[in-house]
Amino acid sequence: MTDKNFVEKAYALAKEQYAGFGVDTDAVLEKMKDVVISLHCWQADDVSGFETPDAELGGGGIQVTGNYPGKPESVAEMRADLDKVFSLLPGKQRLSLHAIYGEFGGKKVDRDAIEIEHFQGWIDWAKKHGTGLDFNATCFSHPLADDGFTLSSKDKKVRRFWINHVKACRKIAAEFGKQLGTPSVHNLWIPDGMKDSPVDRAGYRAILKESLDEIFAEEYPKEYLKDAMECKLFGIGSEAMVVGSHEFYLGYTIQNKKLLCLDNGHFHPTELVGDKISAVLQFLDEILLHVTRGVRWDSDHIVTLNDEIIQIAQEIVRNNYLNRVNIGLDFFDGSVNRVGAYLVGTRAARQAFMQAFLEPTGTLLKYEENSRYFERLALLETMKTRMFGAVWDYYCLQNDVPVGGDFIDEVVKYENEVLNKRG
């Protein structure tokens, strides 16, 4: 157990050190209150959901590896895991739900027929935590998605089913926002695409645009609902063409005043989402982020404090974009303790924002504007080795959550007392 006095003494030294660079660490801790991160429910159970007792992930170019013990087998068990996660995280979190995580009472409710009653339990849970809910249509793991097409399908019956599903999801998300008093971000991702080179790219994209136009014809108050669309470069089984490409959704969201969702695993490994943020926000009011860690491809590894996530946070902080960027996580790993995965990934994302707030941005900008690029580079490198860890530990202490690596013991204890007794 970390000693409180040691943490406070270390913070005092860090505060003095950062002050030498013109950074007020107390002000940084205050700014961290504005960083709200939406946790993705699908890390909890490997994107299986609860439509049926034996629901499993399937289709849509999505894969989860591993079979670590303790996977929740009911909504109650999943909420227990999320309660534990929320209790060990500093700062304010939201929860992002997929449509397959409703409470269906053991009955078969197809996705075009889901209603708010199936998610009222989640609203009550969110009220208990004093937080908001986001939502996602689930356009995969369904027989009508087996051929790789949903909203862009040339089969009218298939297309109608998915249009009705997304309409139902938007209605539910708007009710989330209404009851919880904070807008719900509804994110739309579809797996539509082709494994090998198509002839009629334009035809599929024209159909997708037509489907979206119908879906968004019904408007909801902005204080209840924000609509986002998630682009992708390629997926498993859609290597040659993804219908909802970056260019497609960028054009659609600009024209229709929606949110573009940027997932940093959805682009070529040499492309950086951090570079795209300031570009698209010249034309969009808001965006949604899905923060993950791609290893060579869109593998959705657990987020770590790497250069890519730090650059994303820097771009948001340096440009005062926090009120225009909705931050969500999107990784799933069934090979490790799932509760622990949440904690590692969410803490890493928060640490990236804290590092960005601890930058002497004014000095760096002055160097840049005067073409003093050596000084800019040298100062950026210098800041990497400052006493960041001491500030982070004090932040955790302030938030009454485990400091340093103490959360590891908490996760192991929960595994022994709860997870290992399941199934």
Could you give the residue numbers annotated as active site? Answer: 189, 230, 232, 263, 266, 290, 298, 300, 330
Q: Which residue has 């939201």 as its token pair?
A: 94
Burial class (CB in 10 A: 0-12, 13-18, 19+), 225: buried
Please check whether residue 349 is in contact with residue 293, taking contact to mean a CB–CB distance below 8 angstroms. Answer: no
What value, to the nearest 5°, has the Cα angle with vertex 347 and ends 128 and 394?
Answer: 90
Report the distance separating Cα 300 and Cα 316, nearest Å: 22
Can you tell me the distance from the alpha carbon of 145 to that of 114, in angstroms, rounded to the nearest whole number? 17
Q: For residues 68 and 336, is the Cβ–Cβ distance under 8 A?
A: yes
Helix (H) / strand (E) element for 367: namely helix 361-369
SS3 37: strand
- β-pair type (193-194, 133-136): unpaired
Is residue 218 within 8 Å of 167, Cβ to Cβ? yes
Structure tokens at 66: 């591993």
Termini Cα distance of the chain: 32
Among candidates 406, 242, 241, which has minimal Cα distance to 340?
A: 406
Residue 296, Ramachandran bin (φ over 0: left; ψ between -120 and 50: alpha; else beta) = left
Measured CA to CA, the distance from residue 209 to residue 51 in angstroms comes to: 29
The amino acid that residue 358 corresponds to is L
**Integer Cα distance of 235 and 192 in angstroms:** 9
CB 90 within 8 A of CB 404: no
Q: How many CB atoms lie within 10 A of CB 223?
A: 12
Q: Which residue has the tokens 């770590």?
A: 304
Compute the distance between CA of residue 146 and CA of residue 188 in angstroms, rounded to an integer. Answer: 18
